Amino acid sequence: MNNILDLIRKAEQTHILDKNEIVRLLEDNSCNEELFNAADSIRKKYVGDEVHLRGLIEFSNICKRNCLYCGLRSSNSNVRRYRLTPDEIIDLAKKAVDYGYKTIVMQSGEDEYYTLDMMKYIIYNIKKLDVALTLSIGEKTIEEYKEYKDAGADRYLIRIETTDKKLYEDMDPGMSHEERMRCLSDLRSLGYEVGTGCLVGLPGQTIESLANDILFFKEIEADMIGIGPFIPNEDTPLKDAKGGDFTLSLKVMAITRLLMPDINIPATTAMESLNKNGRIIALKSGANVVMPNVTEGEYRKLYALYPGKICTGDTPAHCRGCITGKIKSIGRVVSEAKGFRVKVNM
């Protein structure tokens, strides 16, 4: 056990672990509380007690991709599809600002309906609201990414899901691991804050692979990392898979915090789909961001990535009040800032 505690202390003090050391921490459950407490301590030291809220607009559930794990996959005929108009998206952003959000996250499937001009119109009008804007709309050309950036987009989230090339291409038919890497590289070169992340518990995924994921996040100097458990969806080919483990997902997140002390890490909604206190537990284990849904009405239910998704019957106002109460209950405060990463020299 002392050896594991020594590894935790090493990560806390140096923010460096090699692959074998990460694997040992992930495999050994004897000191999980110490690991989570260390991640919480580093979170407090480097990013403070403020929790950044990002207002999430899920504006289209139409996707040209056919990823095996995702409920929005193009082959899923059981999902009723929708897309919001540009002005509907802008209107939701205005309401989110009224609720007090300083960051808007626009997320969708890879829906080619939204032309470059439409996206620039949306971005320009949301940026007039004096908010930070994150896009999460998949793989685009560097020229498109540049146009979004020039229109005002600040951040871009594109999860790698797994750095294991074979597993990635097995899970995402017709997609290229190199292309995903290219997108991350292009976004970095254009000056975005870059977000990525992984799914924990994909069929065929190994502990070694998860260790590689963590090291990859550090290698590319990602600014935001989202980590959540894989949750099987009955309308996908992986419906009978075992699914991800809450504790292992939390450990991947905590180690990521120890190795990347000043980044932004969300307490993901998938965590709370497995544990009713999942987001609070994550906030006490290294996370400092929450992304409440500000989409309205039936669309909240139709963005069906996985079953058991939380808060689909709530209003945006209720979500804002609920998460604010939870944050205050653990002695943390809701940030009034836009929540850009503040890099710390270590």
Q: Which residues are annotated as a binding site for S-adenosyl-L-methionine?
A: 161, 180
Residue 320 neighbours by CB under 8 Å, 6+ apart: 53, 99, 100, 101, 292
Rounded CA-CA distance 54/338 in Å is 9
CA distances from 167 to 161, 201, 209 (A): 10, 12, 10
Rounded CA-CA distance 265/283 in Å is 9
Rounded CA-CA distance 100/102 in Å is 6
- Reduced to 3 states (helix: H, G, I; strand: E, B; else coil), residue 128 is coil
Please give the angle made by the CA atoms of 12, 287 and 17, to the nearest 5 degrees. Answer: 30
User: Which residues are annotated as part of the binding site?
Assistant: 63, 67, 70, 161, 180
User: Which residues are annotated as part of the binding site for [4Fe-4S] cluster?
Assistant: 63, 67, 70
- In the block, tokens 């301590």 appear at 41
What are the residue ranges of helices labelled H in 220-289? 246-259, 269-274, 278-283
The angle, 0 to 180 degrees and rounded to 10, between the axes of the packed helices 142-151 and 177-189 is 40
CA distances from 343 to 46, 262, 332, 346 (A): 9, 6, 21, 9
- Chain centroid to Cα 325, Å, comes to 22
The angle, 0 to 180 degrees and rounded to 10, between the axes of the packed helices 86-98 and 116-127 is 20
Structure tokens at 321: 């009040």
The dihedral formed by the CA atoms of 209, 221, 63 and 112, expressed in degrees to the nearest 10: -150
Under a CB-based contact definition with an 8 Å cutoff, are residues 284 and 330 in contact? yes
